[in-house]
Structure 1
Amino acid sequence: MASNNKLATYINRLESYIPQHKFTNTKISKATIGWQIDHSLKVINNVCLAMQSSDPNTFEKNMTFIGKFLLTLGRFPRGKAKAPKHVRPPEIIEKEALIKQIADAKKNIESINTLPANAYFKHPMFGHINKKRVTRFLEIHTKHHLNIIKDMNK
């Protein structure tokens, strides 16, 4: 689907870094490339699943100013937020787990297009993010972690 092309490209880029999943560059991040990949995929998959199971009737237009600002800006600042527990990677990141999450993410982003307009997920800092804004959020978040990986490889 056209609206998810950029996100699909980013997922393919994450996939291309799987062979380097154990690499780290502590000047850029304490985490490994695998951590960046795993976290990005957990966010994509959890957001899509949350939207699929959300009740559009309970959607509230309560997106915070900071959420609107960052989505408009198109980038997230580094080192300012801490990943919620449910999207934090495990201690040991297995290559096979990354490959499975990649396949899930590719399927899950396709499901976005079939969801009702007010399907949503609740972001801990931004409030409710519905279908209209979710792809933008996932693109910015994934690109944020791809940029970290790129800088780690410099």
Structure 2
Amino acid sequence: MKNKLDSLLNQLEHHIPSSELINSQVSQSTVGWQIEHSLLTINGIVSAVQKSNPKDYNWKFSLMKLIILATKKIPRGKAKAPKVVVPKALINNDDLQEHLSKTRDAIKALEMVSKDQFFEHPYFGKLKLKETIRFLEIHTDHHLNIIEDIVTNKY
């Protein structure tokens, strides 16, 4: 499971040289914004999982969670990123590289948490470790697809 996230991070790193590219037909944000948002999301979720108490977990049905996790697709433009994972300032390549390194460490830290620890997603509810990792993979892949469309000028 960690290997897929590692691979996705490698793909994000590959796009750092294109961080200033933008294609308003795809997104109002730059490639750098997409990368930074992905890294902020991973780090924030890993931190939440680490701090969680498995005793506080309670399962709740969520159709949206079921659909996203089953299809492995997030529809574009349907959700707004929480402020905590919105990049705040201009993003430069050195900062992205440094943040990427911290994110790799965060992913390694997931190996030390209990499978019963969880993250509370604003739309999906509480996701135990396995579902959390699957969500991180889907979310990162979603932003990589946006990056690819920006870089290749798909529209």
- Checking the alignment, whether the CA contact within 8 Å between 2:21 and 2:30 is kept in structure 1 is yes
SS class of match (1:113)? helix
**Residues matched between the structures, number:** 152
Which of 135, 146, 153 matches 2:133?
135
Kindly state the Cα deviation for residue 60 of structure 1 after the two structures are TM-superposed: 1.4
Using the TM superposition, give the Cα deviation of residue 131 of structure 1 relative to its aligned residue in structure 2, in angstroms.
0.6
Unaligned runs of 5+ residues in structure 1 are none
Question: Is the 8 Å Cα contact of residues 8 and 137 (structure 2) preserved in structure 1?
Answer: yes
SS at structure 2 position matched to 1:35: helix
Shift of 1:96: 2.3
Opposite residue 25 of structure 2, the aligned amino acid is K
The reply to whether residue 18 of structure 1 matches residue 16 of structure 2 is: yes
After superposition, residues 50-129 of structure 1 pair within 5 angstroms as 50-129=48-127
**Equivalent position SS for 2:38:** helix
**Match for residue 29 of structure 2 among 12, 23, 31:** 31
User: Residue in 1 aligned with 2:38?
Assistant: 40
Percent of aligned positions with the same letter in both sequences? 39
* Unaligned 5+ runs, structure 2: none
The answer to which of 39-48 and 58-67 deviates more is 58-67
1:63 Cα offset (Å): 4.8
CA contact (8 A) 1:54 1:119 kept: yes
Q: How much has 1:94 moved relative to structure 2?
A: 2.4
Structure 1 stretches of 4+ with a deviation exceeding 4 A read: none
Q: Is the 8 A contact 2:18 2:151 kept in 1?
A: no
- Alpha-carbon displacement from aligned partner over 1:46-76 (angstroms, at most 9, x marks no partner): 0001101111110111251111211011110
CA contact (8 A) 1:47 1:121 kept: yes
Tell me: CA distance 1:69–1:55, structure 2 relative to 1, closer, same or farther (3 Å).
same
8 Å Cα contact 1:63-1:128 kept in structure 2 = no
Q: CA RMSD in A?
A: 1.0
TM-score scaled by structure 2? 0.94
Tell me the TM-score normalised to structure 1 length: 0.95
